[in-house]
Structure 1
Amino acid sequence: MFGKLILKDGTTLTGNSFGYEKACSGELVFSTGMVGYPESLTDPSYEGQILVLTYPIVGNYGVPEKKFWESTKIHVSALIVSQYINTPSHFQSQMSLAQWLKKEKVPGLEIADTRMLAEKLRDEGAQLAKVVFNKDIEFYDPNKDNLVDQVSDRRVKIQGTGSKTIVLIDCGVKKNIKRSLLHRNIRLITVPWDYDIFSLKEKINGVVVSNGPGDPKMADKTIETVKKILTKKIPILGICLGNQILALAAGGDTYKLKFGHRSQNQPCLLVGSSRCYITTQNHGFAVGKIPKGFKAWFVNANDNTNEGIIHEKYPFMSIQFHPEACPGPVDTEWIFDKFLTNI
């Protein structure tokens, strides 16, 4: 069966369906990563988005079992690829990508020129789009909703047996952030985005604010919590959306990028040095105004946008990229160690 990808500007492309056949709409974005589609599709930061993969071959190594995913389900609204491979070959593969999409009721279209789509979004900016089959639907802008509330786990979970207690505020956290922290022998308490962490009967040694989808200004309750954390001088690390939330809580500001950063090959410069790190990224917003008392920690080598802030005096820091990677390079995993040295 064939389906159509219709952009808000009227551009219409027809593609072969290899996923679940239902209409959906959202924000059309692209990723230039060459590998890691199981991790990317299950990244909660993609909630409400139709994802275009520019790498031409997708599906060739199938889908691994759930323990290797970054959350419990697929979060993209639909997947657009150039060439779908239905004969996966990998020792960890449990099913084909098509089987997975159909099982989770996510549409997938094979449209030959995904690089043209990426160039269009790069030149004109991200825009709304929809995938339709027989029945048409309205366009939907996910950035007008509180997506963090939709993806944050409502449960409080305690893991690990270390002597230091870290509270992880779940705004749509990737599992490898948890793995990376637990690997460093800490006691981890994961709480929902709007949870009052000071109601915990625990001594909090540090706080991590996770990645997540959408406009950071929608996460108002998390921002208020971070303001209290800063007042109490508790060490804090923000990751991706957490970078934007820390900036907002400290008096800075954020803005929407033209087309965002989504890939495993984003170069980031460590400010004050000539060191460049290759990073994994997935975000559509960025810090535009660095708050008082903070300084730029990293900047993007491609467009000079902010990639992290650090306080000049207190143990407050955040990065826009993903030090836990998954998928992607682990060059910046040391960020976790730097944060924990403040505990």
Structure 2
Amino acid sequence: MKAYLILEDGHVFEGEHFGGHKEVISEFVFNTSMTGYLEVLTDPSYAGQSVVMTYPLIGNYGVCLEDQESNQPFVEGFVVSELARLGSHFRKNMDLETYLKQHDIIGIQGVDTRFLTKLIRSKGCMNGLITTHHYDDISDVLKRIQNYQVKGVVNQTTCQQPYVLGQGQYKVALYDFGAKQNIARELVKRNCEVTVYPARTPAQTILEGHFDGIMLSNGPGDPSECQDIIENIKILSQSGIPIFAICLGHQLMSLAHGFQTEKMVYGHHGANHPVKDLNTNRVYISTQNHNYVVRKESIDESLAKMWFQNVNDGTLEGIEYLQEPIKTVQFHPEACAGPLDTANLFDQFIEMMGGKQNA
């Protein structure tokens, strides 16, 4: 069956349909990862977006459900150059198309993903539509596409009730703004008992829990939408409890301190982004997935300092706060899939909590 991808600038791509059948409008981003397509599909940070994979063959090792980063995929649509119909791996539970059909995620293959990626790089992230319906006149469709906005996605991806993972010496409260499961896994294997909380849990609830540390997770959407969450973070940042924040959590902590965020042209999405630790001048390869960034010019140097910087474009990748036990990073140290270069940042968080306990 034919499928069509229509972008808000009027470009129309024809390809072959796979996966679910629903017509979907979303924001389009590209991901440069060579592996980890299941982790991309199940990363809640992609809520409201469709993903264009730049690697030419996707699905070649099938789907292993154990590798999911959440219990369901959150991407709206999936665009690949070529779909591998039969995944070959001893751990696989099913092929990729079967998985997408089960979750009604529409896909299109046979598209020139190289041209599409260059288009997004030059014009920025664009809205688009994936459909199996052929429109003779796309003028009305373009209006619908252009009017689409990614809204309310934190509410769509956060958990509904608190739950506890693991047992250990350190009690950690993990705010779920659309958390990848490997954040909790990395904490659990470091002797932590992790209590996961919905995104809009009042700060007082956390303070009454007498936690050794607080983790702010990744998540989707525009951080400036989350004003009530930012107010909670303001309270927690003044509590003296060690806090480590990732991706959206990093942006929300910045906003809580009066810094500014802005939307990037096409964002960072992939498992090969170099970041530099400005304390050591050492460069690490990181996994990233974000469309928004903290403006480094907005940082109040009496409150915080830059910690990591992107080697490619110079954007801010991490902040150390000077008056509070808080560290935040824009990239994903839990990196599933991707390099584990920065997994030691979880060890630093454990050290922050240990210092507090022994004081």
Aligned pairs for 1:175-254 (under 5 A) are 175-199=181-205, 201-254=208-261
Which amino acid counterpart does residue 63 of structure 1 have in structure 2? V
Following superposition, the deviation at residue 140 of structure 1 comes to 6.6
C-alpha distance in 2, partners of 1:142/1:70? Answer: 26
- Bigger shift: 272-281 or 192-201? 192-201
Instruction: Give the structure 1 partner of residue 342 of structure 2.
Output: 332
Contact residue 19 and residue 99 of structure 1 kept, 8 A: yes
Aligned pairs for 1:19-30 (under 5 A) are 19-30=19-30
C-alpha distance in 1, partners of 2:76/2:157? Answer: 13
Following superposition, the deviation at residue 198 of structure 1 comes to 2.1
Instruction: Give the structure 2 partner of residue 290 of structure 1.
Output: 299
Following superposition, the deviation at residue 160 of structure 1 comes to 2.2
Following superposition, the deviation at residue 108 of structure 1 comes to 0.7
Aligned residues: 342
Which amino acid counterpart does residue 248 of structure 2 have in structure 1? L
Which 4+ runs in 1 deviate beyond 4 A?
A: 140-144
C-alpha distance in 2, partners of 1:87/1:338? Answer: 42
When the two structures are superposed, what TM-score results if normalisation uses the length of structure 2? 0.92
Contact residue 128 and residue 139 of structure 1 kept, 8 A: yes
Contact residue 54 and residue 118 of structure 1 kept, 8 A: yes
Structure 2: give runs of 5+ residues left out of the alignment: 136-140, 354-359
Q: Are 2:82 and 1:83 aligned?
A: yes
- Structure 1 199/314 Cα, relative in aligned 2: closer, same or farther at 3 Å? closer
- Bigger shift: 262-271 or 230-239? 230-239
C-alpha distance in 1, partners of 2:71/2:259? Answer: 33
- Structure 1 164/140 Cα, relative in aligned 2: closer, same or farther at 3 Å? farther
Aligned pairs for 1:277-316 (under 5 A) are 277-288=284-295, 289-291=298-300, 292-316=302-326
Which amino acid counterpart does residue 42 of structure 2 have in structure 1? T
- Structure 1 81/301 Cα, relative in aligned 2: closer, same or farther at 3 Å? same
Contact residue 279 and residue 323 of structure 1 kept, 8 A: yes
Instruction: Give the structure 1 partner of residue 331 of structure 2.
Output: 321
Contact residue 13 and residue 111 of structure 1 kept, 8 A: no
Deviations 1:295-343 (A, max 9, x none): 0000100100000101124211100000000000001001111112111
C-alpha distance in 2, partners of 1:163/1:198? Answer: 23
Contact residue 290 and residue 309 of structure 1 kept, 8 A: no
Following superposition, the deviation at residue 135 of structure 1 comes to 7.2
Q: Are 2:296 and 1:267 aligned?
A: no
Instruction: Give the structure 1 partner of residue 145 of structure 2.
Output: 139
Which amino acid counterpart does residue 342 of structure 1 have in structure 2? M
Query: What percentage of aligned pairs have identical amino acids?
Result: 38
Aligned pairs for 1:42-61 (under 5 A) are 42-61=42-61
Which amino acid counterpart does residue 130 of structure 2 have in structure 1? V
In angstroms, what is the RMSD of aligned CA positions?
Answer: 1.4
Q: Is the partner of 2:145 in helix, strand or coil?
A: coil
Instruction: Give the structure 1 partner of residue 357 of structure 2.
Output: none
Structure 1: give runs of 5+ residues left out of the alignment: none
Following superposition, the deviation at residue 199 of structure 1 comes to 2.3
Q: Is the partner of 2:187 in helix, strand or coil?
A: helix
C-alpha distance in 2, partners of 1:242/1:326? Answer: 18
